[in-house]
Structure 1
Amino acid sequence: MTARRLRSRALLASGAGLALASGLVLAGSAGAHTADDAGSTTIAPAGHYFAATLNGKATFQLGPVVVTCAVSGSQPTAGGGDANNQIPAAPANHNDAGPVVSGLNSPTYSSCTTSQAGVSATVTTSGAWSVAMQYGTPTTATLTIPTGGLVVQTTGLVSCTVTAAPDAAANLAATFDNGAPSQLVVTDGPAPVKVTGGFGCPTATTSSLFNAIYDITDATDPSSQITVSS
Structure 2
Amino acid sequence: SAHSKSMFGIGARTAATIGTTITKGLMTWPYSGVKKPKDVKIKHLMLCAKCHLPQLQEATDDVAKEIVTAVSGLWDKKNRKESVEKLKKININCLICHQTKAITHKWAQGFPQKDAVYGTQDGEHEDENYPIMKKSEILHESVFCGQCHGLGPNFEFEQPSQCATAYGSYLFAYVAEGGHESCQFCHMSKHNKGHVMPAYRDPDMAEAAVRIEADAFGYYWRKNKAEGVTPLAVVRVEITNKTGHGIPDG
By percentage of residues, which structure has more strand? 1
**TM category, shorter:** under 0.3
Normalised to the residue count of structure 1, the TM-score between the two structures is 0.26
Question: Which has the greater radius of gyration?
Answer: 2
Which has the higher relative contact order, 1 or 2, with Cα contacts under 8 A spaced 6 or more apart? 1
By percentage of residues, which structure has more helix? 2
Normalised to the residue count of structure 2, the TM-score between the two structures is 0.25
